[in-house]
Amino acid sequence: MELTRPSDVADLDGGIFVHGGTEVVPLVRDGILSGAKLVDVRRVVPRGVDDGVIGAGTTLAELEVDPQIPDALREACRLAASPQLRNMGSLGGNLLQATRCWYWRLKYPCRLHGGDRCHAREGEHREHAIFANDFCASAHPSDVATALLALDARIRTTRRELALFELYRVPDENDRDVVRLEPGELILEVHVPTVEASVYLKAMDRKKWSFPQVGVAAARVDGTVRIALAGVAPIPWLLDSPEALDAATPLPRTEWKVPVARALVARALATLG
């Protein structure tokens, strides 16, 4: 494999983008991502926080101690992964991280890999989805994306600007991807609007270094509250209202996530006041 280190957006020309490497390196090693060229984008992607604009190259470790950013995002960063991973992992990369579904990670020929069945639905799925899980039951693992979704963040890529919720899509028969980025498109910045209050709560399997079994982000702007959930659907999940949890379609061994989500949503709303 060839490794390039471009220093200008104009020099980008295909390949697998890598920043901190905490996700891409294991996926390349396992043969899930393959290609001839690895492109280190650290010189291309902005890093740092300037008012409401966060460089996509900013690490989670930098964000978790930054007083300028909303509570939900800071807390989502603090509760993610381990300190070592947060020192390396970038904001942009985090938004694009893949599911932890063990079938997908072990390269079962599942729907997300282009196959014709979801092995998790009939198999082991205690960590899987309770929404939009008919085609693929994988759960999206990003705490950070969920916080940004509740905050109604926008992203700027090398080609356009779009709302974060537009970045994600539930995979289907025709398109197995969970993000709408085009080939060669790179996230450069995240724009976070000012909110009155925000919060992120997370149910984990141990106190540190655990992907969200259920993560709940909530933010209030002009009296309106936005709620988003992590670990409950193939993509970060926007919840229209607390009652929308009644419409969950859990699998036999993900039913437990519904009451946990309900409790965390109630707590998040109580925290917002």
Interface residue with another protein among 102, 157, 162, 176 (CB under 8 A) is 102
| Three-class DSSP category at 105 | helix
Rounded (5°) CA angle 24-28-32:
105
Quick check: 213 binds another protein (CB under 8 A)? yes
Q: Which residues of 7-42 are buried (b: 16+ CB within 10 A; e: fewer)?
A: eeeeebeebebbbbbbbbeebbeeeebeeeebbebe
User: Which range, of 55-63, 157-165, 174-182, 199-207, touches another protein by CB under 8 A?
Assistant: 199-207
- What single letter denotes the amino acid at residue 201? L
Dihedral (Cα; 122, 102, 64, 76), 10-degree rounding: 0
User: Which range, of 33-41, 131-139, 144-152, 208-216, touches another protein by CB under 8 A?
Assistant: 208-216
Quick check: 242 binds another protein (CB under 8 A)? no
Size of interface with another protein, in residues (CB under 8 A):
27
Pick 97 or 153: Cβ nearer another protein = 97
Quick check: 140 binds another protein (CB under 8 A)? no
Quick check: 207 binds another protein (CB under 8 A)? yes
Quick check: 259 binds another protein (CB under 8 A)? yes
Interface residue with another protein among 203, 225, 233, 268 (CB under 8 A) is 203
Pick 44 or 79: Cβ nearer another protein = 79
Segments in 20-88 forming alpha helices (H)? 24-29, 60-63, 71-79, 83-88
Beta strand 53-55 with 16-18: parallel, antiparallel or unpaired? unpaired
Pick 79 or 164: Cβ nearer another protein = 79
Distance between CA atoms of residues 53 and 103, nearest Å: 36
- Shortest distance, CB of residue 58 to another protein, whole angstroms? 23
Q: Would the CA dihedral through 57, 41, 188, 146 be positive or negative?
A: negative
| Three-class DSSP category at 240 | coil
Pick 13 or 122: Cβ nearer another protein = 122
- Shortest distance, CB of residue 187 to another protein, whole angstroms? 24
Quick check: 119 binds another protein (CB under 8 A)? yes
- Shortest distance, CB of residue 202 to another protein, whole angstroms? 10
Interface residue with another protein among 21, 46, 123, 242 (CB under 8 A) is 123
H or E element at residue 121 = helix 119-122
CA distances from 16 to 6, 19, 21 (A): 13, 10, 11
Q: Where does this chain bind another protein (CB under 8 A)?
A: 82, 100, 102-103, 105-106, 119, 122-124, 126, 203, 205-211, 213, 253, 255-256, 259-260, 263-264
